[in-house]
Structure 1
Amino acid sequence: MREFADFACALADAARGVTLPAAMRIGAIDNKVEGAGFDPVTEADRGSEKAMRGLIEYRFPNHGIAGEEFPDRPGRGRHVWSLDPIDGTRSFICGLPSWTTLIALLEDGAPVLGLIDAPRLGERYLGFGGTTNLITGSGTRPLKVSACRSLAEARFSTTDPYLFKGAEMEAFERLRAKARLTRFGHDGYAYARLADGTVDLVVESGLQPFDYQALIPVVRGAGGVVGNWEGGEDCSGGRLVAAATRELFDETVATLAG
């Protein structure tokens, strides 16, 4: 796993080589959604994923690759790399610094290593083997989630309240009413802040595997709890609850259920 962790950092470096220069001058923005709606993608999204794919294909030719911008490449073994080259493309094209690159290593379908890289902030969150560390230019330090156990004390984050519809919106409003404060717009970076103890709860819906697979080892390695809206561990439905403590997780699940 140490070898894989070092390689994940090399992948993040390669992605930074594409995304950081592009962040200084945003080029053409395409819309992946036809008709109404807006799902932006840039050449930086595509170019950084290509750079990471090239390294994986060279170093680990038997490993599978599943990314946001290109078709999956099946592997010939237990391992698959999950790539989200720019998580938070809306923030990226607005010149905001909170977008991240998400990298996960799956073993037999389960994420065993996760990396959240925040290039504009100079922060890298690496989780594997039951630990999570923050890597910056000043060094490396272990992370631990907060001790928050109740919604009344919780700092709650979700990317966008308008992603929730119908009954999900009603559930979100119940959470927002109970939480101490609510912050929006941070995408994967909110989970990094949860791992470092400055956010206590993140709840989202409609996530794709490349959106959440890197987040799980990072949060769990810092002592947090990650599961689905029903309280189980299967996140394949794309509805995630990430909480600092089991007590906060359980109260959140109960509140979502109404």
Structure 2
Amino acid sequence: MTTKIDGAVVFVTGANGGLGEEFVRQSLQRGAVKVYATARSPREWGDPRIAPLFLDVTDPESVAQAVKNAADTTIVINNAGMTRRGPLAEARMTDVRAIFETNFFGALNVAQAFAPILEFNRNGALLNVLSVLSWLGSGNAYSASKAALWSATNSLRLELAPRGILVSGLHLGFTATPMTKGIDAPMNNAADVVRAALNGLEEGDYEILADDLSVTTKANLAAPIEVMYPQLVKP
């Protein structure tokens, strides 16, 4: 099930962030006729093809209003996300719940709300932006939320395929965006990640691994746990 970005109407959540901006820009480069650039603080883009929309993915009423305003959408990119650093064993539950409200429940709310739209407009696609940390626990509460969304993506993929909707998951390692500011680690370029994501959508890929770290980590899922977490190897 392939997806045509040329001529598509694309709905991007979290459009003001590093990946979100690239999804907006590159979708237009590939021929999208309109991009809904959504955020809690929508901004003007200076391009008539870009429609800024207010969206709080944690608010069902906000999502419902966005569906009404963007009923011509053919591709949804679930990109909005948040993180708070610190050990999961010591995290305040209010912080953990806030992360899940955005990264899991918010993304699922958007997926549920737009499924009928994507089905009606035919040959629709939903891309959930996941993370290599959906397979690695080093991201603490963020990892847990992305692991939950990975599982939900698998379920949505099975449920929506008979309705003509492609559901794809994007896995990526650390990427230079405002969210990763201050992290001392090798970083992907956001433009490269989004290019891989849109290539995968156009090819009909159910799962898109944007970098070598994601490829290696996925391959190690069936290995002993010590392969994924060498710090657990007994001396």
State TM-score, norm by structure 2: 0.29
Which has the larger strand fraction? Answer: 1
More relative contact order, 1 or 2 (CA 8 Å, 6+ apart): 2
State TM-score, norm by structure 1: 0.27
